[in-house]
């Protein structure tokens, strides 16, 4: 299976570094590799760092972080050569980068798969930045490219402001899932997805706590994987779905991020299981179950 | 303590107090004096050296914006439209058709030993071939078994053959990106547009890390190209300058016969502004006679021909969306402020006029926090700056290094496609910059265009484009102004004017040795003035023996 890559974009101060640190701290058994644009005022919380050598920071739980500067390709090759290979690569883009450009590159790297583009929007600042004539089009393009927008720093705004900024974002990215986040705290499963990792004693679906709700489906009969992925992508309450689906042509792995979905043949033997995650209040477990039912292939006589 | 007095047919000094002379005295690599033999004899014992008696001496020419990787590119095959001289002095004929390009690559291919090694060409520019589109079928004629690629002169397109696409895992249907054109069969044609697409494939055709990094032999070769162009000091505008690279630069330029001084700017990438300024402050201390360290290069936007430059309204003539920022305004502000406080000079790449405006606004704000009467922060390329932007730059004490060569090579494209006639006529507006009192240099951006300040001066004087049109009559400058720009102008923008840029007592003995007088030839022939070689730090380098 190709290494999934998630691009974390958004303007300066949107909380990209906080999110990265939160995901590293709560990695729930996933080995994350993180590429940051630059090593500034230490992008990684000091207590997470185990060692630092040759520009590579080793982080507890088998995670790593390095800066790519002007050599993204070289850094990507280094990640692909890591042993053991990471489960997921996060790329923290610079504040003015267009995530789709980076996703194009990672999508063309043999052995990698562009999984998702997350764009962070600072609830307190995003509209001010978008009103800056130098930045307006960049901010709008970043939001427009997002598979999911994470609305951050909600603790800094009033309820009214929150409603205003939410409406403002929905106007700019009407079909994009919007996740509210405070202090970078969002479960890893909600942004990177969750798949069973039995080798590391991890239980599927764990960790989607607080604001999120999850459902693990374990289909016992063949489904149309592509149709299922599309159905889940269209389901507005689902932010993330990921897992192994039995089909008439063997096991497939599906990935759903916001409106976007991908399928690929599973390269290892796994039990069928799909973890679906969404915001409490928006996630509708019955509708998700119905989607699975609709995509069941007719039983052969 | 030997004193050598060189006689010359003419010495053009760039010192207004004594603009011309016949003799120059050199001691310990520095200029002891300029004048008549009688005047200089007053310094005491000397040797009279007549080897330049029929030559014209100018201050060593200064390239204010180039990249030493020009030297490394010659490890790969040149397939450009224009004739171009390599470090050995061999002129490679410009290639006028795809068949010519295929033939040259095939010739190189036939001589290669390793059947799997990639073959990389560079410098292709189909705009001069009626915009013909090269395909993988063309390059498959060179080889179907080894990966073959050609990087275009613009730097924004890479063509590869079928084998390279196969190796990169791209020989399949289903690509959906404007930068990956597809053939009738649904497969990529082999043309890959924009850096984000070129780079992942590039490594299969030889554009790997080694290609992108500065390499020792490349730096040596760059020095040889300098001698052939009459250049005694060149910037390397944007190097990583890790400990390893800095050590290599020191080693190579420190060789007793290295013929040029390299001013290596630390590129602002991969470091926070604070770490960047600290590192460059430390680097400054490591400068030597032939390696100037302690300056920062920032890139603020992309390129105009790649439609990635940031333009003010009304934007691109063909309606393309605005380009990209390469740095966030707040980060630029932080770098400027910290650098001003540390006394570190910053040169910033801007191509579009919106990027230029951002730099002007940002520097004006940073100067309120960190006043500096003589910062000479310089905008590099700055191709679309308007008269009012130059006025503001002059008042803020900024410098500019305009891309006169670009006007020649891509001026027709800018007129027709990117910015349209009105703005194309005032691109790289040397006249406006000088009239507004901006300190000004002009440059080649080698390897984007060939290193050769006399050509660059010619381009600024004539404002001819490749198709032979004069584009922007009003922005022409005189030969004298252009020669000043490639000597003193560049020295001033790099804050090296106390060391180089003119032939006068106390400065480094850096001369361009020319076969003809550039102020006497027809301005149209300025680019053709033959360069005999250089004198750098008092050491004589003949192009024929380099």
Tell me, yes or no, whether A241 lies in a domain: yes
- Substitution target from A134, A226, A262, A263 for chain B, most B beta carbons within 10 A: A134
DSSP E strands in B378-467: the ranges are: 378-381, 399-402, 439-442
Option in A40, A73, A96 nearest B199 (CB): A73
Tell me, yes or no, whether A266 lies in a domain: yes
A158/A217 same-domain check = no
Strands, sheet with B77-78, edge to edge from the N-terminal-most edge strand: B77-78, B119-124, B148-152, B157-160, B191-193
Give the pairing of strands A32-36 and A88-92.
Answer: parallel
**Chain A partners within 8 Å of B203 (Cβ):** 73, 77
Q: Which domain range does residue A248 map to?
A: 196-294
Domain of residue B86, CATH code: 3.10.310.70
Give the gap in angstroms from C-alpha B287 to the nearest C-alpha of chain A: 24
Distance between CA atoms of A82 and A75, rounded to whole angstroms?
11
Domain of residue A124, CATH code: 3.40.50.300
**Chain B partners within 8 Å of A41 (Cβ):** 272, 274
Give the gap in angstroms from C-alpha A264 to the nearest C-alpha of chain B: 14
Q: What is the pLDDT of residue A41?
A: 58
Percent of residues in chain A assigned helix, strand, coil, to nearest 5: 30, 30, 40
Q: What is the pLDDT of residue B144?
A: 96
Cα dihedral sign for B472, B474, B479, B481? negative
B195/B235 same-domain check = no
Q: What are A213's strand-pairing partners?
A: A278
Tell me, yes or no, whether A240 lies in a domain: yes
C-alpha closest to that of A210 among A257, A274, A280: A280
Option in A39, A110, A138 nearest B168 (CB): A110
Distance between CA atoms of A278 and A256, rounded to whole angstroms?
12
B159/B271 same-domain check = no
pLDDT more than 90, % of chain A: 52
Tell me, yes or no, whether A77 lies in a domain: yes
**Nearest residue of chain B to residue A39 (CA atoms):** B271
In this model, does residue B46 exceed pLDDT 70? Answer: yes
**Nearest residue of chain A to residue B300 (CA atoms):** A96
Q: What is the pLDDT of residue A203?
A: 42
Q: Do A137 and B202 touch (CB under 8 A)?
A: no
pLDDT more than 70, % of chain B: 99
pLDDT band at B212 (very low <50, low <70, confident <90, very high): low
- Collapsing DSSP to helix, strand or coil, A16 comes out as helix
B230/B170 same-domain check = no
pLDDT band at A208 (very low <50, low <70, confident <90, very high): very low
B124/B266 same-domain check = no
Q: Do B327 and A96 touch (CB under 8 A)?
A: yes
**Chain A partners within 8 Å of B200 (Cβ):** 73, 76, 105, 108-109
* DSSP summary character for residue B288: B
B166/B246 same-domain check = no
CB B285 within 8 A of CB A54: no
**Nearest residue of chain A to residue B172 (CA atoms):** A108
ipTM comes to 0.90
| Token pair 């990792």: residue | A197
Q: Do A69 and B240 touch (CB under 8 A)?
A: yes
pLDDT band at B184 (very low <50, low <70, confident <90, very high): very high
| Token pair 């996740």: residue | A179
Q: Do A137 and B354 touch (CB under 8 A)?
A: no
Domain of residue A261, CATH code: 3.30.1220.10
Per the structure block, which two tokens stand in for B51?
């080897």
Average pLDDT over residues B39-46: 97
Average pLDDT over residues B238-242: 89
Q: Give the pLDDT confidence of B84-102 residue by residue, as tens digits.
A: 999 999 999 999 999 999 9
Q: Do A134 and B358 touch (CB under 8 A)?
A: yes
Average pLDDT over residues A82-93: 93
Tell me, yes or no, whether B65 lies in a domain: no
Q: How many domains does chain B have?
A: 2
A118/A11 same-domain check = yes
Domain of residue B234, CATH code: 3.20.20.140
Q: Give the pLDDT confidence of A153-186 residue by residue, as tens digits.
A: 998 999 999 999 999 999 988 888 899 887 778 8
Distance between CA atoms of A214 and A283, rounded to whole angstroms?
8
Give the gap in angstroms from C-alpha A56 to the nearest C-alpha of chain B: 13
Q: Do A137 and B203 touch (CB under 8 A)?
A: no
Per the structure block, which two tokens stand in for B466?
């490749």
In this model, does residue A205 exceed pLDDT 60? Answer: no
Q: What is the pLDDT of residue A207?
A: 42
Average pLDDT over residues A83-88: 92
pLDDT band at A39 (very low <50, low <70, confident <90, very high): low
Q: Where are the alpha helices (DSSP H) in B42-115?
A: 69-73, 98-110
Q: Do B199 and A105 touch (CB under 8 A)?
A: yes
A76/A171 same-domain check = yes
In this model, does residue A134 exceed pLDDT 80? Answer: yes
Distance between CA atoms of B126 and B136, rounded to whole angstroms?
15
Determine contact: B329 vs chain A, CB below 8 A.
yes
* DSSP summary character for residue B175: -
Give the gap in angstroms from C-alpha B543 to the nearest C-alpha of chain A: 35
B487/B421 same-domain check = yes
Phi, psi of B532 (to 5 degrees): -75, -40
Taking residue B27's Cβ as centre, other Cβ atoms within 10 Å add up to 18
Distance between CA atoms of A61 and A200, rounded to whole angstroms?
11
Determine contact: B474 vs chain A, CB below 8 A.
no
CB A172 within 8 A of CB A143: yes
Average pLDDT over residues B293-308: 95
Distance between CA atoms of A128 and A122, rounded to whole angstroms?
10
Give the gap in angstroms from C-alpha A276 to the nearest C-alpha of chain B: 28
Q: What's the Cα-to-Cα distance from A217 to each of A204, A236, B447, B478, rounded to whole Å?
A: 10, 18, 58, 78
Q: Where are the alpha helices (DSSP H) in A36-158?
A: 72-80, 99-108, 126-131, 136-145
Tell me, yes or no, whether B187 lies in a domain: yes
B195/B320 same-domain check = no
Give the pairing of strands B261-267 and B439-442.
Answer: unpaired
- Collapsing DSSP to helix, strand or coil, A166 comes out as helix
| Token pair 């393309």: residue | B320
Q: Do B274 and A41 touch (CB under 8 A)?
A: yes
* DSSP summary character for residue B173: S
Distance between CA atoms of B540 and B47, rounded to whole angstroms?
15
- Collapsing DSSP to helix, strand or coil, A20 comes out as helix
A61/A165 same-domain check = yes
A154/A172 same-domain check = yes
Q: What's the Cα-to-Cα distance from A111 to each of A108, A151, B167, B179, B260, rounded to whole Å?
A: 9, 31, 12, 21, 44
Tell me, yes or no, whether A230 lies in a domain: yes
Option in A37, A77, A108 nearest B197 (CB): A108
Q: What is the pLDDT of residue A209?
A: 60
**Among B152, B174, B205, which residue terminates a domain?**
B205
| Token pair 């680019």: residue | B527
pLDDT band at A269 (very low <50, low <70, confident <90, very high): confident
**Chain A partners within 8 Å of B269 (Cβ):** 38, 69-70
Distance between CA atoms of B10 and B58, rounded to whole angstroms?
9
Phi, psi of A32 (to 5 degrees): -100, 140
Per the structure block, which two tokens stand in for B46?
């000397």
Tell me, yes or no, whether B28 lies in a domain: no
Average pLDDT over residues B371-377: 97
Q: Give the pLDDT confidence of B190-206 residue by residue, as tens digits.
A: 999 988 899 899 989 99
Determine contact: B328 vs chain A, CB below 8 A.
yes
B221/B167 same-domain check = no
Q: Give the pLDDT confidence of B141-178 residue by residue, as tens digits.
A: 999 999 999 999 988 899 999 999 999 999 999 999 98
In this model, does residue B1 exceed pLDDT 80? Answer: no
B356/B418 same-domain check = yes
Tell me, yes or no, whether A135 lies in a domain: yes
**Among A133, A168, A186, which residue terminates a domain?**
A186
Q: How far is CA B54 from the centre of its chain?
A: 30
Q: Do B329 and A134 touch (CB under 8 A)?
A: yes
C-alpha closest to that of A261 among A273, A278, A243: A243
A97/A131 same-domain check = yes
B285-291 CB contacts, 8 Å cutoff, 24+ apart: B286/B246, B286/B250, B288/B250, B288/B253, B288/B254, B289/B29, B289/B261, B289/B537, B290/B253, B290/B254, B290/B258, B290/B260, B290/B261, B290/B262, B290/B537, B291/B249, B291/B250, B291/B253, B291/B254, B291/B261, B291/B262, B291/B264
**Among A186, A221, A249, which residue terminates a domain?**
A186
The radius of gyration of chain B from alpha carbons, rounded to an integer in Å, stands at 23
**Chain B partners within 8 Å of A145 (Cβ):** none
Q: Give the pLDDT confidence of B526-543 residue by residue, as tens digits.
A: 999 999 999 999 999 999
**Nearest residue of chain B to residue A37 (CA atoms):** B270
In chain A, which residues touch B (CB < 8 A)?
11-12, 37-41, 67-74, 76-77, 94-96, 98, 101-102, 104-105, 108-110, 132, 134-135, 137-138
Q: What is the pLDDT of residue B247?
A: 96
Q: What are B193's strand-pairing partners?
A: B157
B192/B241 same-domain check = no
Tell me, yes or no, whether B66 lies in a domain: no
**Chain B partners within 8 Å of A104 (Cβ):** 177, 179, 196-197
Tell me, yes or no, whether A59 lies in a domain: yes
Distance between CA atoms of B357 and A213, rounded to whole angstroms?
48
In this model, does residue B518 exceed pLDDT 70? Answer: yes
Mean pLDDT for all residues in chain A: 87
**Among A186, A220, A252, which residue terminates a domain?**
A186
Q: How many domains does chain A have?
A: 2
Tell me, yes or no, whether A7 lies in a domain: yes
Option in B272, B329, B358 nearest A38 (CB): B272
CB B341 within 8 A of CB B371: no
pLDDT band at B213 (very low <50, low <70, confident <90, very high): low
**Chain A partners within 8 Å of B358 (Cβ):** 134
B180/B220 same-domain check = no
B395/B506 same-domain check = yes
A112/A168 same-domain check = yes
Q: What is the pLDDT of residue A42?
A: 60
Q: Which domain range does residue B157 map to?
A: 77-205
Tell me, yes or no, whether B258 lies in a domain: yes
In this model, does residue B339 exceed pLDDT 50? Answer: yes
């Amino acid at each position: 299976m190709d290494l999934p890559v998630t691009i974390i974009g958004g303007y300066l101060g949107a909380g990209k570094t906080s999110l990265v640190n939160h995901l590293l701290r709560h990695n729930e058994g996933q080995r994350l590799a993180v590429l940051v644009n630059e090593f500034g005022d230490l992008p990684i919380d000091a207590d997470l760092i185990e060692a630092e050598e040759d520009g590579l920071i080793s982080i507890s739980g088998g995670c790593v972080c390095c800066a790519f500067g002007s050599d993204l390709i070289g850094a990507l090759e280094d990640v692909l050569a890591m042993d053991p290979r990471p489960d997921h690569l996060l790329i923290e883009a610079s504040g003015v980068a267009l995530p789709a450009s980076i996703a194009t590159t990672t999508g063309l790297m043999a052995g990698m798969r562009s999984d998702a583009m997350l764009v962070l929007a600072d609830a307190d600042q995003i509209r001010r930045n978008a009103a800056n004539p130098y930045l307006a089009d960049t901010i709008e393009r970043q939001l427009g490219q997002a598979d999911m927008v994470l609305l951050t720093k909600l603790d800094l705004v009033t309820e009214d402001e929150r409603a205003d900024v939410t409406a403002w974002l929905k106007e700019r990215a009407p079909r994009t899932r919007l996740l509210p986040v405070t202090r970078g705290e969002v479960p890893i499963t909600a942004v990177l997805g969750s798949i069973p990792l039995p080798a590391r004693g991890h239980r599927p679906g764990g960790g989607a706590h607080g604001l999120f709700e999850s459902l693990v489906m374990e289909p016992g009969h063949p489904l149309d994987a592509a149709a299922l992925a599309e159905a889940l992508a269209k389901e507005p309450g689902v932010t993330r779905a990921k897992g192994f689906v039995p089909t008439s042509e063997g096991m497939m792995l599906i990935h759903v991020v916001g409106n976007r979905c991908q399928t690929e043949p599973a390269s290892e033997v796994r039990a069928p299981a799909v973890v679906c995650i969404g915001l409490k209040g928006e996630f509708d477990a019955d509708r998700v179950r119905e989607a699975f039912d609709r995509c069941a292939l007719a039983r052969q006589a | 303590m030997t004193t050598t007095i060189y006689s010359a047919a003419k010495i053009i000094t760039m010192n207004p107090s004594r603009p011309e002379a016949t003799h120059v005295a050199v001691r310990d690599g520095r200029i002891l004096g300029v004048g008549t033999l009688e005047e200089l004899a007053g310094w005491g014992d000397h040797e009279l050296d007549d080897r330049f008696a029929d030559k014209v001496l100018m201050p060593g020419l200064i390239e204010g914006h180039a990249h030493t990787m020009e030297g490394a590119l010659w490890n790969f095959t040149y397939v450009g439209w224009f004739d171009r001289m390599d470090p050995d002095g061999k002129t490679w004929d410009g290639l006028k058709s795809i068949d010519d390009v295929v033939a040259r690559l095939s010739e190189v291919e036939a001589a290669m030993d390793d059947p799997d090694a990639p073959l990389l060409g560079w410098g292709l520019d189909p705009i001069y071939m009626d915009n013909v589109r090269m395909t993988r079928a063309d390059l498959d004629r060179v080889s179907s078994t080894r990966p073959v690629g050609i990087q275009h002169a613009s730097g924004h397109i890479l063509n590869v053959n079928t084998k390279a696409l196969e190796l990169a895992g791209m020989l399949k249907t289903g690509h959906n990106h404007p930068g990956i054109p597809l053939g009738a069969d649904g497969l990529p044609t082999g043309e890959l547009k924009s850096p984000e697409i070129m780079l992942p494939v590039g490594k299969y055709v030889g554009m790997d890390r080694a290609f992108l990094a500065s390499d020792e032999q490349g730096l040596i070769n760059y020095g040889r190209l300098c001698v052939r162009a009459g250049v005694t000091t060149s910037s390397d505008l944007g190097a990583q300058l890790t400990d390893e690279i800095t050590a290599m630069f020191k080693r190579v330029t420190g060789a007793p016969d290295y013929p040029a001084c390299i001013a290596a700017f630390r590129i602002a990438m991969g470091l926070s502004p604070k770490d960047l300024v600290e590192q460059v402050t430390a680097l400054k201390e490591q400068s030597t006679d032939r390696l100037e360290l302690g300056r920062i290069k920032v890139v603020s936007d992309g390129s105009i021909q790649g439609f990635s430059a940031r333009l003010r309204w009304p934007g691109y003539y063909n309606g393309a969306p605005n380009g990209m920022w390469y740095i966030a305004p707040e980060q630029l502000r932080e770098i400027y402020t910290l650098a001003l406080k540390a006394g570190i000079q910053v040169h910033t790449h801007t191509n579009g006029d919106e990027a230029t405006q951002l730099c002007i606004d940002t520097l004006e704000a940073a100067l309120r926090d960190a006043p500096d009467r003589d910062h000479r922060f310089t905008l590099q390329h700055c191709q679309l700056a308007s008269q009012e932007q130059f006025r503001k730059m002059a008042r803020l004490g900024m410098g500019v290094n305009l891309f006169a060569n670009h006007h020649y090579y891509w001026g027709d494209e800018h007129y027709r496609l990117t910015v349209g006639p009105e703005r194309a006529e005032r691109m790289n507006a040397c006249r406006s910059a000088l009239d507004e009192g901006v300190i000004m240099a002009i440059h080649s951006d080698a390897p984007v265009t060939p290193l050769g300040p006399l050509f660059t001066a010619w381009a600024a004087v004539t404002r001819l484009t490749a198709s032979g049109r004069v584009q922007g009559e009003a922005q022409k400058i005189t030969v004298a102004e252009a020669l000043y720009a490639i000597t003193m102008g560049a020295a001033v923008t790099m804050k090296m004017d106390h060391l180089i840029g003119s032939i006068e007592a106390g400065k480094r003995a850096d001369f361009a040795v020319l076969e003809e007088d550039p102020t006497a030839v027809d301005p149209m022939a300025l680019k053709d003035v033959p360069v005999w070689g250089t004198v750098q730090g008092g050491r004589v380098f003949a192009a024929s023996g380099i």
